[in-house]
């Protein structure tokens, strides 16, 4: 899972400033659920709720969710390719 540092860097690069409160809010359930925390707050409804406060917050939340899922997909893909290479 990408660190908040990575999320803030993406904010800076694409939005011009950091939005750490968005990332803390989205990942707060991690304390209770661990890696399964994405079942809460990593959805379109949450992104839209943040966007209704400020559109840039919604964009930051969307980038956060896309980064999390992209990172996980990439890790799975790399694990599979390494596993295949080891079997050959």
Q: Which of these, 60, 50, 49, lies nearest to 16 by C-alpha position?
A: 60
The torsion angle over the Cα atoms of residues 53, 57, 24 and 79, rounded to 10 degrees, is 140
* Beta carbons within 10 angstroms of residue 56's beta carbon: 16
Q: What is the pTM of this model?
A: 0.85
Domain that holds residue 16: 4-87
Note the pLDDT tens digit of each residue in 8-21.
Answer: 999 999 999 999 99
CA–CA distance, 10 with 21 (Å, rounded to integer) = 14
pLDDT of residue 1: 81
CA–CA distance, 76 with 88 (Å, rounded to integer) = 19
Note the pLDDT tens digit of each residue in 38-79.
Answer: 999 999 999 999 999 999 999 999 999 999 999 888 888 988
Number of separate domains in the chain: 1
């Amino acid at each position: 899972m990408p660190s908040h540092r990575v999320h803030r860097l993406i904010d800076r690069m694409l939005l011009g400033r950091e939005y750490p409160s968005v990332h803390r809010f989205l990942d707060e359930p991690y304390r209770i659920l661990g890696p399964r925390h994405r079942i809460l707050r990593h959805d379109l409804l949450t992104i839209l709720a943040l966007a209704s406060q400020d559109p840039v917050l919604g964009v930051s939340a969307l980038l956060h969710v896309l980064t999390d899922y992209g990172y996980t997909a990439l890790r799975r893909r790399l694990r599979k390719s390494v596993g295949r290479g080891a079997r050959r």
